[in-house]
């Protein structure tokens, strides 16, 4: 294997590592609290779909994954606070 080929494969390995880190960090693919195999597959499939959608958004918006996730969560919290669906009764 030549030095150029090693560099190319090292780039591929880094891309795969970046993909796995992103799935774990941004979409919580390993956090499924279910035991049934079908439910685990559904969770993994939807987490992958969410991750790919997030990556697409980051690529087109030119922002990082962390910034995109923070922006999405912040806007969702602001929307909920302006029009809350559930409220807790006041305590004494």
- Residue pLDDT, tens place only, 18-54: 888 888 887 888 888 899 999 999 999 999 998 899 8
Helix axes 65-82, 3-27, angle to 10 degrees: 10
Q: How confident is the model at residue 56 (pLDDT cuts 50, 70, 90)?
A: very high
Cβ-contact 35, 11 below 8 angstroms: no
What is the pTM for the complete model shown? Answer: 0.66
């Amino acid at each position: 294997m030549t030095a150029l080929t090693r560099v190319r494969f090292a780039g591929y390995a880094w891309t795969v590592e970046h993909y796995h880190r992103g799935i774990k960090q941004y979409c919580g693919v390993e956090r499924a609290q279910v035991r049934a195999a079908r439910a685990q597959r559904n969770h993994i499939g939807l987490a992958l779909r969410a991750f790919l959608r997030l990556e697409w958004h980051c690529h087109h918006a030119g922002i990082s994954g962390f910034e995109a996730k923070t922006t999405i969560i912040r806007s969702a919290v602001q929307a909920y606070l302006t029009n809350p669906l559930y409220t807790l009764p006041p305590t004494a």
